[in-house]
């Protein structure tokens, strides 16, 4: 893929996530054999940890809309190479079950092959996430 194509895919991902698109529509940007990884306490939220397949994206979109409320999402940069797009920003979310707010910088690394996202890695303040999900 070219850097310009990867930039378009990253922006399409952000647009779909921000528009409230259906989980299946967002998942269509990902390869069927997607590798999903958000390091952290996998007992804190269901999408944390290692998952595979488009179902990981669909589950994330469905579950995140019920378990948390996005307060603010600021994307500072989208950086690209021939096989990756890196999204850098800050996310503020409310965990609905506890009423606690997480304010965390994040980096999302999208590996892109054949016009699809084949690997999703999100790095965030996993300690803050774990603490916010506990009463």
Global confidence as pTM: 0.95
Domain that holds residue 69: 3-132
First-to-last CA distance in the chain? 45
- 84-112 average pLDDT score: 97
How many domains, in total, are found in the chain? 1
Read off the CATH number of the domain in which 11 is found. Answer: 3.10.450.50
How, if at all, do strands 116-123 and 100-113 pair?
Answer: antiparallel
How far apart CA 7 and CA 57 sit, in angstroms, is: 20
**Number of other residues whose CB lies within 10 A of the CB of residue 32:** 11
pLDDT tens column, 49-71: 999 999 999 999 999 999 999 99
Is-contact 112 95, C-beta < 8 A? no
């Amino acid at each position: 893929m070219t850097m310009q194509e990867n930039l378009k895919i990253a922006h399409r991902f952000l647009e779909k996530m921000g528009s409230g698109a259906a989980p299946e529509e967002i998942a269509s940007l990902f390869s069927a054999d997607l590798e999903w990884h958000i390091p952290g306490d996998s007992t804190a939220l269901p999408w944390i940890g290692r998952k595979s397949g488009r179902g990981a994206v669909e589950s994330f979109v469905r579950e995140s809309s019920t378990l948390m409320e996005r307060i603010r999402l600021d994307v500072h940069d989208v950086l690209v190479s021939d096989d990756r797009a890196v999204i850098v920003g800050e996310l503020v979310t409310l965990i609905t079950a506890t009423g606690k707010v997480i304010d965390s910088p994040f980096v999302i690394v999208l590996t892109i092959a054949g016009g699809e996202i084949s690997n999703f890695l999100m790095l965030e303040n996993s300690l803050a996430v774990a603490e916010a999900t506990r009463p």
